[in-house]
Each structure stands twice: as structure tokens, then as C-alpha cells.
Chains A and B, each alone.
Chain A
Amino acid sequence: QVQLQESGPGLVKPSETLSLTCTVSGGSINSHYWSWIRQPPGKGLEWIGNVFYSGSTNYNPSLESRVTISVDTSKKQFSLRLTSVTAADTAVYYCARGPDLEWFPADNNWFDPWGQGTLVTVSS
């Protein structure tokens, strides 16, 4: 079955750029949107944005000015860049797969499966 694995630095300095990569194994990267979602320690979930295998993207307006999500289909990876980070960006970052758009309308946006998550701390 499909598995997702996040990778990247666990510590980022304030004002710098957070960069994470999600590697997809056991399935195709085609016909799905691929999302980033974060969860500050002890708090709820926030959708950051997604990318289609074609490269088209959608972002949460609350983060849009600082976020870039991209995809590399040859490596079966997609990536997150978040610029100008502050302590408020400290969170567990998850990557997740959207539904198969060969079976569901393109506006469907639930998440299954998720990666295990990676904690990113913003601190000097």
C-alpha cells in the first residue's frame, strides 16, 4: 500500500526558510492531489496547501504569501517551502494524499494516508 515519508531539518532559525520533502512509495503519484498539513504541539490541524502531479497548486490564504509546494514526479516526491518562519510555525508537519481523481470529482479533498509527521522547531 501507499506510504509517505517526510524528511528535512528538524530545527530552523527565525526568519529563515523551512524546507521539507515527502517521498511516496508503493503507489502512483498520478491522479492525486498531495497535501501538506501541520499541527502545532498540543493543538489542532491546519491545511497548508496541495499540489497535483501536473504541478498545479492550491494554498491556504493564511499562508499563501510564504508557501511554495512543488512536485517531482520522476522521484515520486513533493516538497514544501515556507519562508520567513517564526516560532508560530513550530509544528509537526504531515504530508498526505488526496483521493484518486479517476474515481472522485476534483473538488474532493480528504486525506488518506498520511505520513508519520516530522517535528520542525523554529528557534535560534
Chain B
Amino acid sequence: EIVLTQSPGTLSLSPGERATLSCRASQSIRSRYLAWYQQKPHQAPRLLIYGASSRAPDIPDRFSGSGSGTDFTLTINRLDPEDSAVYYCQQYGRSPCTFGQGTKLEIK
């Protein structure tokens, strides 16, 4: 199965700054079949991005995804304290789909 490695493990930034989260795959992900999710404490994950760069409905344009092959990035502009959460990437290019271990984003 494809292993996804996310970095950094924890990211601490200030409101208004930009966050750059990385997701690296153990093998190339076909068709850019990669999604990003946001999970806040005691909540279910929420889809942010699918197809590496397509925003899910009602997701602000501060959130953007990019990348292909084995390297993907989630960028969050103009950070808001409500962006504090754990962010997961997920690949669905090869079954079974798999998730990264998550990046915790702290906004202080």
C-alpha cells in the first residue's frame, strides 16, 4: 500500500501568516488522486481538497492544494485562529486508500 508521510508534525504560526503543509507518498499517486482533510478536536474530519487542487464546496479560497507524483502541498493563507486543527492527506490512487499521520497546526 502507499505510505503517506506528512511534515512537519506540528506547525506553530501566528494569525495572518501562511501555513505550508507537506504530504509525500512512497510511490507516485496516479491522476493526482489526493485529498486533504481538517479535523478539529472531538469532530469528524472535513474535506478541504480533492484531486490535489480542487476545493470542496464551501471551503474558503484561503485553502489551496498543489502537487503531483509523490509530493503534494496544502497551503493556508491569512491564518485564522479557527484554522487550528490536525490536517490529514489521503491518497485514493491505489487501493486501499491510505491517510497520512497528520500535521497539527497551532495558531497562537
The residues of A with any CB-CB pair to B shorter than 8 Å are 44-47, 58, 60-62, 94, 99, 107-117
Contact A62 B96, beta carbon cutoff 8 Å: yes
Most central of B46, B92, B97 by chain A CB within 10 Å: B97
Give the residues in chain B near A58, CB-CB below 8 Å: 95
Give Cα A78–Cα B95 distance, bound, in whole angstroms.
Answer: 21
Give Cα A92–Cα B98 distance, bound, in whole angstroms.
Answer: 17
Give the residues in chain A near B72, CB-CB below 8 Å: none
Contact A110 B99, beta carbon cutoff 8 Å: no
Q: Is B33 an interface residue (CB 8 A)?
A: yes
Q: Given that A47-B99, A60-B96, A110-B35 are contacting pairs, would A116 and B44 also be in contact in the complex, using a CB cutoff of 8 Å?
A: yes
Give Cα A45–Cα B44 distance, bound, in whole angstroms.
Answer: 11
- What 1/0 flags go to B1-39 for Cβ under 8 Å of A? 100000000000000000000000000000001010100
Give the residues in chain A near B99, CB-CB below 8 Å: 44-47
Give the residues in chain B near A110, CB-CB below 8 Å: 35, 47, 50, 90, 92
Contact B56 A112, beta carbon cutoff 8 Å: yes
Listed from nearest, the 7 A-B pairs whose CB atoms lie closest are A112-B47, A109-B92, A114-B44, A110-B35, A45-B99, A60-B96, A110-B50
17 A–B contacts from the bound complex (CB under 8 Å): A44-B100, A44-B101, A44-B102, A45-B45, A45-B90, A47-B99, A61-B96, A108-B33, A108-B50, A108-B92, A109-B92, A109-B95, A111-B35, A111-B37, A113-B44, A113-B47, A116-B44
Taking the closest CB of chain B, its distance from the CB of A24, in whole angstroms, is 15
- What 1/0 flags go to B86-108 for Cβ under 8 Å of A? 00101010011111111000000
Give the residues in chain B near A113, CB-CB below 8 Å: 44, 46-47
Q: Given that A47-B98, A47-B99, A112-B56 are contacting pairs, would A117 and B44 also be in contact in the complex, using a CB cutoff of 8 Å?
A: yes
Q: Given that A114-B44, A114-B45, A117-B44 are contacting pairs, would A47 and B96 also be in contact in the complex, using a CB cutoff of 8 Å?
A: yes
Contact A111 B47, beta carbon cutoff 8 Å: yes
